[in-house]
Chain A
Amino acid sequence: MTFATRRLRKIVGALPPGITLVRAEDFKEWQLDIRVLDDNPIYKGKTYRLSFKFNINYPIDAPIVTFVEAPGITIPMHPHIYSNGIICLDLLSSGNGWSPVQSVESVCMSIQSMLTGNTRNERPEGDADFVRSGNTNPRNIRFVYDDPTV
C-alpha cells in the first residue's frame, strides 16, 4: 500500500458540511460536490463538482483539482476560475503553495470559502484565449497570484 492510498483511505468518513463524496472508486481520481453555505447570490442553491486527481506521490505532490461539468452542474463563475474548470489558487500549485498536511477536506473548504467571499460574477481576464489554448493540466500553467484579496 502506498502512502497515497493510505492517506486517502482514512478520510472516507465524516466530511464537513456542504461537501459530499460523489465518486471515489480508486485512489487516482475522486469527485466531490460542494455547496456554498451562506446566501451569496452568485452561488445560492447551486452545487458544483470538483475533481481531484492524485499521483503516487500524494500528499507530497499536490493533487490536480479542477471543477468539472455534469448534467445539471456547471462551472462556478469566479474571477479565478476559468470556464474550462481550471482553478487559480496558490495552495494548489506544486511550488510553495501546496503543503502535504493539506487534505481533500481542507482543499474543499478553501475552495468553498473562495466562492463564499466572491462578489464578482465574472470569469478571469483572457478566459476565452486561455480556454482556446487547450491547456487542461493546471500543472503546466504558471499562474501569477497578483490579487492578495482572494
Chain B
Amino acid sequence: MWWSVWDRLNILIFARLWCRCFQASDFIGAERFYTRAIIHDATNPAYFTNRALSRLKLSLWEAVIDDCQHALDLLPTSLKAYTYLGQAQLALDRPNEALSSSQQAYKLAIAVRSPSAATIAGTVLQAKKRKWEVSEDRRIMEEGGLLGKLVKMLTEEGEKEVSAVETQWSLGKEEGRVHKEHRHEEGGEWNKNREGDTQALEAAVWEEIEARKHSTRERINLLKDVFARADPAKYKPRIVPDHLIDNITFCIMHDPVITKHGQSYERATILEHLRRSKTDPLTREPLTEEDLRPNLALRVACEEFMRENGWAVDY
C-alpha cells in the first residue's frame, strides 16, 4: 500500500517534470529524468520509448536503438519503439534495418489507426531511397570508368575534411582539460560555465561535420547528374508517372488504397483527410474508411518503379 502510493506519486512527478523539459526543448533534462525513471522501474516500456525519443532529439542514435530494443523486449508490439528504431537506423545509414523496422511500425500504426502513419510511411520511403542509392553507387563503382573514380575521389576528400574537423576538435578538448585543471581552485561556478561552453562547442562541431558531409553528397549528386545528362543512351528525364503519385501529397505512394469512385490515394493521407471530413476528395460524396480497398496492382507498380528510381522519393 505504502509503496504503491509512493510509486504513483513518483510517476506523477516524473511525468510533470518530463513534460516541462520537452516543452522547453530540454532534451538533455528529459533524457536524465527518464534514466531515473528506468532505474526506479525497468519494466515499463514507456520509460524506454520516451527516453529513446529524447535521445533521438539529441542524435544519440546507438542509444536510441538500445532503448528501443529494451522496449521491444518488454512490449513486442510497441509502435513507438519500432518508429524510433527505424529513424535511428536510417540516421546511422543502415537502410535495410531501417526499412524492416519502419515497415513493422507502419503495420502497427495502421492497425491502431495512429495519425503518425504518414510520418512512418515517409521513413519507409526514405529507407527505400537510401537502399537504391547504395545499389546505384555499387553499380557505378563496378562499371568502373571515370565517374566511379571521380566519385571515389570526392568521397575520400569529404572524409578527409571531416576527420580534419574531428582532429581539431579533440586537440581543442585536450587543451580545455588542461585549462580546467589549472583553474580548479577558482570555484565551481566557473567550471559549470565551462561545461556549458563545451556543450555548445560540441554542437557547433557536430553541425560543422554535418555541413561538410552534406556538401560532399551534393557535389557527388551534381557530378552524377552531369554524367547522366552527357550519356543520352542511359539518360532518362526524371519524371514520376502521374498514376503512381498520391493526389493529395503529390508523393509517390507506398501503400495505395482505392476509393469506391476509382481514385487511388496513399492510405495514411486519405485516412488523415477522412478524420476531418468523411467525403471523397474528388466527388465530395460520402466516403468512409470501410469503403477503401488496398490497390495491390498499383502497389506493386510503385514498388517496381521505386526499385529502379529511388530518386522518386524526393521528386
Contacts and interface: CB of A to CB of B under 8 A. Distances in A.
Interface of A: 1, 3, 6-7, 10, 57, 59-61, 94-96, 98-101
Contact of B277 (A7, A10, A59, A96): A96
Q: Identify whether the interface residues of A are mostly helix, strand, loop, or mixed.
A: loop
B249 A99 contact: no
Interface string B247-284: 11111000000000000000001001100110101101
Interface string B6-17: 000000000000
A126 B143 CA distance: 74
Contacts of B251: 3, 6
B279 A3 contact: no
B175 interface: no
B277 A95 contact: yes
Given A6-B250, A7-B249, A7-B250, A100 B281 contact: yes
Given A60-B248, A101-B248, A94 B282 contact: no
Contact of A96 (B247, B249, B282, B284): B284
Given A95-B277, A101-B282, A60 B272 contact: yes
A6 B284 contact: no
B314 interface: yes
Q: Identify whether the interface residues of B are mostly helix, strand, loop, or mixed.
A: loop
Contacts of B277: 95-96, 98-99
A57 B281 CA distance: 16
A1 B279 CA distance: 27
B276 A99 contact: no
A81 to B, nearest CB: 23
Given A60-B276, A94-B276, A99 B250 contact: no
Nearest to A102: B281
Contacts of A95: 277
B239 to A, nearest CB: 12
11 contacts: A6-B249, A6-B251, A59-B248, A59-B249, A60-B248, A60-B272, A60-B273, A61-B276, A94-B276, A100-B248, A101-B282
Contacts of A99: 277, 279, 281-282, 284
Given A1-B314, A60-B272, A60-B276, A101 B249 contact: no
Interface string B274-303: 001101011010000000000000000000
B273 A100 contact: yes
Given A3-B269, A99-B277, A99-B281, 17 more contacts: A1-B314, A3-B248, A3-B249, A3-B251, A6-B249, A6-B250, A7-B250, A59-B248, A59-B249, A60-B272, A60-B273, A95-B277, A98-B277, A100-B281, A101-B248, A101-B281, A101-B282
